A and B are shown apart, each in its own frame.
Chain A
Amino acid sequence: MRYLPNSAADRARMCEAIGLRSGEELFAQIPAALRLNAPLQTPGPLSESEILDFFRQAASQSSKDYTSFLGAGAYSHYRPAAIDMLLSRGEFFTAYTPYQAEISQGTLQAMFEFQTLIAQLTGMEVANSSLYDGSTATNEAVLIALRVTRRERVVLARTLHPEYREVCRTYSRNLGVALEEIACAHSGQVDLQRLEAAIDDKTAAVVVQSPNFFGAIERIPEISQVAHNRGALLIVAVAEPLALALLRPPREADIVSGEAQSFGVPVAFGGPYAGFLATHEKFVRQMPGRLVGQTKDADGRRGFVLTLVTREQFIRREKATSNICTSQSLCALAATIYLCLLGKQGLRRLAEHNLAKAHYAAQQLASVSGAELPFPAPFFNEFVIRTPGDARKVLAALEEEKILGGVALERFYPELQDHLLVCVTETASRQAIDRMAKVYRRLGRRETVMGEADLRAAPAGKGTRG
């Protein structure tokens, strides 16, 4: 087998050296009744070219020829070639967690840079060196708030990513924590009155996302005031961190959690991604996950180490701040390289392109008779549109044009029937947007002909939702 370096002769010599007659004797400790006496029923062996064929075949059954307007927590952005070239250096991707600092300075310095970049983007003082993903990072932020405040209630905006909320529910279920969700206002933003009513002296944290799941940008200073008035912490989740290149960072938050996938990590059917967690210095000892700190070596040279490790499970065991051991180092490295390549101005320009394209698309689609932008709040590169007629028909018609037209919101919000979440990044050309609008117009006309009265009576579009 090509990955195994020892020959049959090597094995025989090694067995002889340790006094074994055969390899089978190595497993004498395992009771005979538990030892397998037949080969596993797994496929293979395959040569390298056969492996390539297998995955090519699988990859051919994909949506790769489609123009995608899907976002909702996983964003398509162009990935510069340099990223994979650098990630492919074996010293990076075949290394372990940098516990042996003297021979891990490369990973450590890169993670120190990642922590700095995330802190700069989020407007926070410190960031850790990544967590599993945006959903689990948000959940860890909730756990910090519970520890810091010693309270047991958490208020989640219903416009926090539905799957982030699900993760929070799974983790809180057995910890005696009550989660409450609040619907959004007509604007698509957090309803401040509802929020105020939902918070009491037992509320540990308020969790909002910005831009939220509907794409609406939240008014963080106002939300912060409402949360802080009752002594609750404010957690701001960021699923599309490119927005932070253009939008005011959520400085009033106590913790900013989020997803760095947009920065050079492939969409890859949902993972692996890189969660991030940023906060104020005063909470740093409550943070989960790995932290890299700058220090000096015995000769006074600058170097980096994993630090504040007494928070972690391998020291504290059942009293640790989290059970997390693994971070997402290589994905965080991809994000670091990406942010360095784009840089201060490149990232800003990219954000402006996203903003312009999304607004162009929103305008084109909303101008179609029967279509409507239900939420007036400002947005970045993602927005909700009510489709002219049945959203499923719109999506099917778009699929025929090789377009993935958005995420049907009904699956997460039953009251938002015939509403799509549309994401427009720099990867969508004007031509593709125009083609999408053309399909809308075609269907919109048909809807108009088929009965304007029905459309006006459609339930969605008014009232509180989300």
Chain B
Amino acid sequence: MNEAIPGARPHVTLDEELIFDRSGPGKTGAELPPLDVPAISAVEAVGGDYVRPEIEGFPEVSELEVIRHFTRLSTWNYGIDTGLYPLGSCTMKYNPRINEVVARMEGMATDHPYAPEPLVQGCLRILGETARCLKEITGMDAVSLQPAAGAQGELTGLLMIRAALDDRGERRGTVLIPDSAHGTNPASVTFAGYHVRNLKSNARGCIDLAALESAANEEVAALMLTNPNTLGIFEEQIEEICRIVHAKGGLVYMDGANMNALVGVARPGEFGVDVMHLNLHKTFSTPHGGGGPGSGPVAVKAALEPYLPAPVIEQAIDGSWKLNYNCPKSVGRVRAFYGNFGMAVRALAYILAYGPEGLRQATEDAVLNANYLLHGLKQAYELAYDAPAMHECVFSDRRQAARGVRTGDIAKRLIDYGFHPYTVSFPLVVQGALMIEPTESASKEELDRFVEAMLAIAREVEDDPNVALTAPHTTRVRRLDEVTAARKPVLRWQPTAETE
């Protein structure tokens, strides 16, 4: 860049080092008030064998250096606040600011989980009201907010199914999963002690009733399905699907990852579903936070209610809230305390802000946006299945692959146009999938710009595939060597490590 001054860069953020490289002996970013009790020697208090010397290599930086370090790092990220984030199946919708304010409020962020119940009625009420709203939205009979994320919700639901079948004296060993399912589904099945049996989708991308009919037998504990499925298609035969599974004594688990297509429009409780989970970080706007925290409440029909993780939240006749630990049939605890309470605060704030009509409008906008994108893109990209979309649409890279450009390359080129990529190569049933979910948070203008960018990339692929193959061209770092990263993992900074 500037050859006169070696090492110069056009912008300060280009070379923010690791915090360990900024460290200098004796610096600190936090000070304590004077100790108001007699100081004691650690060696005397606990014994010399138990005390450690100073932590070698631990950072020593001032407050301002910490602020600058993380502010600079933040500028290397793309967030929903930056622009359209159309990751399919992730539901990257706007994270309302008031939710962050109320979650940090004294009395919401400060109560201890073991404080006496009469003194934490506010927090208990938030849990109770959130569960009540989720029951209404899903049409189910009871909700637990304990699971920390969607995958834990799945596992909890499967454990409940298992416990219910055990109670009936039935030992079943298999869970059916459509081949379009998210990877957590089969992984959760394994950790529930079941075997996975994959179900092939039909030509429309949906569950094949004949295949289901022949797979459903007395060995099948449950069918685990996502509706709308990961192709963004509503399983129109859902009632028949549930009937087939129930007829053989199995239960139906619904992965509620795509609930953003249904809120206020249809309720899984009326489909025949026995148990499902929700992702508060998808449908209910709690922030993804760069990969968590999430929250994965489970909702069940009355028959499964006794198996919910303990404790369950209850309201007494006098209006007060309490935690009931007396749940002899409970599958047990899946997490310490009561789940990701702070996420429930945000989800409830979201539900309150919209109100019933607003929630339905948001769903309608999410589905309209997805169909608008589908319409705009289908001239240049091959639709995986030619069906109307719900909240997301899935294309295949087949046309572009003929020019040597894959879905991952198109995604990288999209970064140059100022967008976060869609979900790449998922679902697995589609060759080179481009899975696009705009959510209700995308404006028409933004969708139009996105379509223009995608069409421009399709043209580039025809003219000069190399542009996409070497993308991105505008980012701070270019494509990263993932192979070496996995072959010779460097997972931490070392005081002796060579840094640039």
| Chain B residues with CB below 8 A from A319, complex form | 190
Give B257 Cβ to nearest chain A Cβ, in Å. Answer: 10
Contact in complex: B264, A318 (CB < 8 Å): no
Give A281 Cβ to nearest chain B Cβ, in Å. Answer: 8
Interface stretch (choices A43-51, A228-236, A454-462)? A43-51
Give A398 Cβ to nearest chain B Cβ, in Å. Answer: 11
Contact in complex: B111, A269 (CB < 8 Å): yes
Interface stretch (choices A199-207, A241-249, A439-447)? A241-249
Contact in complex: B39, A352 (CB < 8 Å): yes
Residues B235-253 near A (CB distance < 8 A): 236, 238-239
Contact in complex: A307, B111 (CB < 8 Å): no
| Chain B residues with CB below 8 A from A299, complex form | 477-478
Contact in complex: A51, B79 (CB < 8 Å): no
- A449 interface hit (Cβ, 8 Å): no
Per-position contact with B for A254-295: 1 when CB-CB < 8 Å, else 0?
000000000000111111100000000000100000111111
Contact in complex: A166, B333 (CB < 8 Å): yes
**Which one of B75, B294, B354, B424 lies within 8 Å of A44 (CB-CB)?**
B354
Contact in complex: B183, A272 (CB < 8 Å): no
- A450 interface hit (Cβ, 8 Å): no
Known: A5-B441, A307-B486. A29 touches B233 (CB 8 A): yes
**In the complex, what distance in Å separates the CA atom of A320 from the CA atom of B112?**
35
Contact in complex: A56, B441 (CB < 8 Å): no
**In the complex, what distance in Å separates the CA atom of A291 from the CA atom of B186?**
21
Contact in complex: B100, A295 (CB < 8 Å): no
Other CB < 8 Å A-B pairs besides A136-B335, A345-B54, 5 of them?
A88-B100, A101-B482, A112-B491, A129-B291, A295-B481
Per-position contact with A for B471-483: 1 when CB-CB < 8 Å, else 0?
0100111111110
Known: A1-B354, A295-B482, A320-B187. A26 touches B371 (CB 8 A): yes
| Chain A residues with CB below 8 A from B484, complex form | 295-296
Give B126 Cβ to nearest chain A Cβ, in Å. Answer: 6
Per-position contact with A for B122-143: 1 when CB-CB < 8 Å, else 0?
1101100100010011000000
Contact in complex: A94, B79 (CB < 8 Å): yes
**In the complex, what distance in Å separates the CA atom of A271 from the CA atom of B36?**
31
**Which one of A312, A322, A399 lies within 8 Å of B191 (CB-CB)?**
A322
Contact in complex: A51, B352 (CB < 8 Å): yes
- A212 interface hit (Cβ, 8 Å): no
- B401 interface hit (Cβ, 8 Å): no
Give A243 Cβ to nearest chain B Cβ, in Å. Answer: 10
**In the complex, what distance in Å separates the CA atom of A314 from the CA atom of B54?**
40
Contact in complex: B149, A326 (CB < 8 Å): yes
**Which one of A30, A104, A349, A350 lies within 8 Å of B78 (CB-CB)?**
A104
- A214 interface hit (Cβ, 8 Å): no
Contact in complex: B342, A266 (CB < 8 Å): yes
- CB closest chain-B residue, reference A68: B112
- A400 interface hit (Cβ, 8 Å): no
Interface stretch (choices B65-73, B207-215, B454-462)? B65-73
Known: A29-B233, A247-B46. A323 touches B191 (CB 8 A): yes
- B1 interface hit (Cβ, 8 Å): no
**In the complex, what distance in Å separates the CA atom of A448 from the CA atom of B439?**
68
Interface stretch (choices A8-16, A180-188, A367-375)? A8-16
Contact in complex: A39, B191 (CB < 8 Å): no
| Chain A residues with CB below 8 A from B322, complex form | none
Give A300 Cβ to nearest chain B Cβ, in Å. Answer: 9
**In the complex, what distance in Å separates the CA atom of A404 from the CA atom of B374?**
57
Contact in complex: B293, A326 (CB < 8 Å): yes
- A328 interface hit (Cβ, 8 Å): yes
Query: Which of B26, B36, B291, B354 gathers most chain A CB within 10 Å?
Result: B291
Contact in complex: B119, A63 (CB < 8 Å): yes
**In the complex, what distance in Å separates the CA atom of A305 from the CA atom of B487?**
13
| Chain A residues with CB below 8 A from B463, complex form | none
Known: A39-B357, A40-B360, A269-B337. A297 touches B477 (CB 8 A): yes
Known: A43-B355, A109-B73. A163 touches B337 (CB 8 A): yes
Give A405 Cβ to nearest chain B Cβ, in Å. Answer: 10
Per-position contact with A for B220-246: 1 when CB-CB < 8 Å, else 0?
000000000000011010110000000
Can you report 9 residue pairs joining A to B where beta carbons are below 8 Å apart? A4-B365, A5-B446, A10-B443, A20-B371, A46-B355, A61-B125, A86-B67, A104-B77, A271-B337
| Chain A residues with CB below 8 A from B71, complex form | 86, 89
Give A170 Cβ to nearest chain B Cβ, in Å. Answer: 4
- B288 interface hit (Cβ, 8 Å): yes
Per-position contact with B for A110-131: 1 when CB-CB < 8 Å, else 0?
1111011101110001110110
- B306 interface hit (Cβ, 8 Å): no
Contact in complex: A30, B55 (CB < 8 Å): no
Contact in complex: B151, A269 (CB < 8 Å): no
**In the complex, what distance in Å separates the CA atom of A26 from the CA atom of B389?**
8
**Which one of A175, A245, A380 lies within 8 Å of B193 (CB-CB)?**
A175
**In the complex, what distance in Å separates the CA atom of A56 from the CA atom of B349?**
12
Contact in complex: A102, B476 (CB < 8 Å): yes
- CB closest chain-B residue, reference A57: B122
- A435 interface hit (Cβ, 8 Å): no
| Chain A residues with CB below 8 A from B482, complex form | 101, 295, 305, 307
- CB closest chain-B residue, reference A399: B116
**In the complex, what distance in Å separates the CA atom of A62 from the CA atom of B119?**
5
- A453 interface hit (Cβ, 8 Å): no
- B104 interface hit (Cβ, 8 Å): yes
Contact in complex: B288, A378 (CB < 8 Å): no
Give B165 Cβ to nearest chain A Cβ, in Å. Answer: 11
- A252 interface hit (Cβ, 8 Å): no
Contact in complex: A340, B19 (CB < 8 Å): yes
**In the complex, what distance in Å separates the CA atom of A328 from the CA atom of B137?**
26
Contact in complex: A346, B32 (CB < 8 Å): yes
**In the complex, what distance in Å separates the CA atom of A270 from the CA atom of B108?**
11
Contact in complex: A11, B368 (CB < 8 Å): yes
Give B287 Cβ to nearest chain A Cβ, in Å. Answer: 5
**The 10 A-B residue pairs with the shortest CB-CB distance in the complex, in nearest-first order:** A270-B337, A59-B107, A45-B355, A330-B289, A90-B81, A174-B193, A44-B355, A272-B293, A170-B332, A62-B107
| Chain B residues with CB below 8 A from A28, complex form | 388
**Which one of B51, B266, B412 lies within 8 Å of A35 (CB-CB)?**
B266
| Chain A residues with CB below 8 A from B58, complex form | 117, 120, 339, 343-344, 347
**Which one of B66, B444, B499 lies within 8 Å of A337 (CB-CB)?**
B66
**Which one of A15, A176, A270, A326 lies within 8 Å of B336 (CB-CB)?**
A270
Per-position contact with A for B345-359: 1 when CB-CB < 8 Å, else 0?
100010111111111
Known: A29-B233, A291-B489, A399-B116. A94 touches B358 (CB 8 A): no
| Chain A residues with CB below 8 A from B265, complex form | 27, 30, 35-36
| Chain A residues with CB below 8 A from B368, complex form | 6, 11, 14-15, 23, 26
- A413 interface hit (Cβ, 8 Å): no
Contact in complex: A344, B151 (CB < 8 Å): no
Contact in complex: A330, B184 (CB < 8 Å): no
Known: A4-B365, A63-B115. A18 touches B375 (CB 8 A): yes
| Chain B residues with CB below 8 A from A115, complex form | 491-492
Residues A356-386 near B (CB distance < 8 A): 356-357, 359-360, 378-380
| Chain A residues with CB below 8 A from B411, complex form | 100
| Chain B residues with CB below 8 A from A74, complex form | 112-114, 337
- B154 interface hit (Cβ, 8 Å): yes
Known: A96-B92, A135-B336. A34 touches B136 (CB 8 A): no
Contact in complex: A3, B150 (CB < 8 Å): no
Per-position contact with A for B370-400: 1 when CB-CB < 8 Å, else 0?
0110110000000000011010000000000
**In the complex, what distance in Å separates the CA atom of A113 from the CA atom of B289?**
17
- A331 interface hit (Cβ, 8 Å): yes
Give B258 Cβ to nearest chain A Cβ, in Å. Answer: 13
Query: Which of B28, B290, B362, B479 gathers most chain A CB within 10 Å?
Result: B290
- B63 interface hit (Cβ, 8 Å): yes
